[in-house]
Amino acid sequence: MADTKISALPASTTPLAGTEVLPIVQSGVTAKVSVANLTAGRAVSALSLTTTNDNSVNGLTVGRGAGAVSTNTAVGASALVSNSSGSMDTALGSGALVSNTTGSSNVGAGYQAGYLNQSGNQNTYLGSQAGYSGLGSFNTAIGYQAGYTSTVNNNTFIGYYCGQLTTGTKNTFIGVNGSGYLVTTGEKNTIIGGYQGGTAPISATGSSFVVLSDGDGNIRATYNATGVGFYVQAAPTSKSTTATLTAAEVLAGILNTTGTSYTVTLPLGSDLDTGTGGMATDSAFTWNVINTASGTITVAANTGITSLGTLTIATGVSAAFKIRKTAASTFVLYRVS
């Protein structure tokens, strides 16, 4: 082959097939290498990389996903792999939004997040298998398997396992310990805290409840479907003779008096403040006295507690009080009826 300047060579056909060969000098010897093997096994440095198709990086899809819709983002093995016309979707993680075909404005971030969603719109699934069975629209599920079974619309689940078995609509579950985990067909419920919903008041299938619970799932307050509120009531305190009440006895909310006439003294303001666990200034609670004694009962204040209103309670009469915190270890007792 005669020597020819590179500039005089005919142009190649593009794109290259990869089987073309080039001469290289390797260990002082001229050898040939195919185009496909020029960078095999070596790191490649570049200022930028522009491609017209999705890329595969160590088995991960990076691009727009199936359908190549310009407003979609897909990062992860099989992420958005079935999409046809869905737009404004973001799939991050292996199997995220893997079944989505026409659904739009969805976010699936995490392993198999929104895995079965096909045509649902405006869903946000964050966490491994969050919203796994999601077929509906307008749902938010954040946390491991949050909203795993839900196939309907308008649910919000925040926390791991929240609403995992729920198929009802318009539920809001927020908390730890699988908040609302055991609610199945119940609808329009709101749970804050760790209550799982398998016991009363929701009992898996109840609807339109509002439940406030602590992190262990202990219910602190409930509103039923008609808006009637319920809260935890400790067993009443009973006294039959002169006594100084403890903070716990006052916080029980009800004092039942028996016997004859005598005086019951409130605890120190500092003890009551400690007993409340640090209630906020300008907050209050209700305290009731039911006098079933044969004589008059007198309520006495104590250091840190002042009073407003009559503190004597005639036999057979019930009295209602409000106890308001005005400052640290300082309270006012109001006779309201």
Could you tell me the pTM of the whole model?
0.82
> Could you tell me the CA-to-CA distances from 47 to 50, 54, 75, 87, 288 in Å, in that order?
10, 19, 21, 30, 77
Position 13 scores a pLDDT of: 84
Q: Is residue 31 part of a domain?
A: no
Position 1 scores a pLDDT of: 52
Q: Is residue 181 part of a domain?
A: no
Position 321 scores a pLDDT of: 98
Q: Is residue 251 part of a domain?
A: yes
Q: Is residue 330 part of a domain?
A: yes
Instruction: Report helix, strand or coil for 69.
Output: coil
Neighbours of 165 (CB within 10 A): 21
Distance CA 69, CA 37 (A): 32
Distance CA 18, CA 50 (A): 19
Position 217 scores a pLDDT of: 96
Position 32 scores a pLDDT of: 85
Q: Is residue 285 part of a domain?
A: yes
Q: Is residue 10 part of a domain?
A: no
Count how many domains the chain has: 1
What domain range includes position 313? 237-335
**Antiparallel, parallel or unpaired: β 330-335 and 318-327:** antiparallel
Mean pLDDT split into 10-residue runs, the chain, 337 residues: 73 82 84 80 76 84 94 97 98 98 98 98 98 96 97 97 96 96 97 97 97 96 95 95 98 98 98 95 97 98 98 98 98 98
State the distance between the two ends of the chain, measured CA to CA, in whole angstroms: 115
Distance CA 188, CA 235 (A): 32
Q: Is residue 271 part of a domain?
A: yes
Distance CA 32, CA 19 (A): 11
Q: Is residue 241 part of a domain?
A: yes
Model confidence over 263-288: pLDDT tens digits?
Answer: 999 999 999 999 999 899 999 999 99
